[in-house]
Amino acid sequence: MKRSMASTLAMVSGAALGFAAKRVQWRRASPGDTAMRRLTTYFILPVWIGAGFVDYLWHRRTRIETTSGLEESLMHSLMMVEGAPIVLSALFFEINAGVLGWMIGLSFVHELTVLCDLSFTAPRRVIPAGEQVTHTFLEAPPFLVTAAAISTHWEQFLALLGRGSERARYRIRLQRPPVSSAHVFLIFAALALLDALPHADELRRCVEAKKAGRIGEDTPACLPEVFS
């Protein structure tokens, strides 16, 4: 009796697993999800990560630790926290009304933080033309990813607004098929080596300068006068 019950459970479990495997195998990413993954993986992410490292070099050159100091560096940290979920959502999550709402909201907050950052920094530190161009490649990716996600998933965007023929979906789901392990490793290794670690070094220098009372010592005298 016990052996018969065990055999039945094994057969039922095997059938369920087989059915689930087929469901995963049959399911294909939508053309919009595929386009978003390619755009994010091969264009936006490399540009965004590279620009982050170049911006770190500009900050060293203009002596952020003894001009605008820790306050500006912390705003950079905040912008990274705001921008990263936008860009990575397009890579890892199925784009629906919920994810679009998340991306749109963070995009507005990110732009507001950019405005606060520039308003604070301009009177305290020289921002060379090259750094300003670098900022373009840092500021644009969250907006570009959001705009591309809306364009490739238009019906879910309309559903978010209470319009269109589709029902709004808000559940957060990973994209299928998932991003390969090799790509995940390369993405997060690049983020760590080119963005997180350099920014940690910047924060360290700013904290040390603040403790030593050196903030503002390298700010050109003309800047406060120009922006006052």
CA distance 102 to 144: 14
Residue 10 lies in a domain: no
CB 88 within 8 A of CB 45: no
Residue 27 lies in a domain: no
Q: What is the pTM of this model?
A: 0.83
Whether residue 177 has a cis bond before it, omega within 30° of 0: yes
Residue 174 lies in a domain: yes
Residue 187 lies in a domain: yes
- pLDDT tens string, the chain, 228 residues long: the values are 444 444 444 444 444 434 443 444 434 667 777 888 889 999 999 999 999 999 999 999 999 999 999 999 999 999 999 999 999 998 999 999 999 999 999 999 999 999 999 999 999 999 999 999 999 999 999 999 999 999 999 999 999 999 988 999 999 998 888 888 999 999 999 999 999 999 999 999 999 999 999 998 988 888 876 776
Residue type at 129 in one-letter notation: A
Instruction: Report the half-sphere exposure of 149 (CA within 13 A, side-chain side).
Output: 32
Residue 45 lies in a domain: yes
Residue 123 lies in a domain: yes
Residue type at 186 in one-letter notation: L
CA distance 109 to 142: 11
Residue 22 lies in a domain: no
> What's the domain count of the chain?
1
Enclosing domain of residue 212: 32-227
Residue type at 115 in one-letter notation: L
CB 50 within 8 A of CB 113: no
Residue 1 lies in a domain: no
* C-alpha angle 27-143-202 in degrees, rounded to nearest 5: 110
- What pLDDT score does 177 carry? 83
- What pLDDT score does 197 carry? 97
Q: What is the 3-state secondary structure (H, E, C) of the chain?
A: CHHHHHHHHHHHHHHHHHHHHHHHHHCCCCHHHHHHHHHHHHHHHHHHHHHHHHHHHHHHHCCHHHCCCHHHHHHHHHHHHHHHHHHHHHHHECCCHHHHHHHHHHHHHHHHHHHHHHHHHCCCCCCCHHHHHHHHHHHHHHHHHHHHHHHHCHHHHHHHCCCCCCCCCCCCCECCCCCCHHHHHHHHHHHHHHHHHHHHHHHHHHHHHHHCCCCCCCCCCHHHHHHC
- What pLDDT score does 28 carry? 63
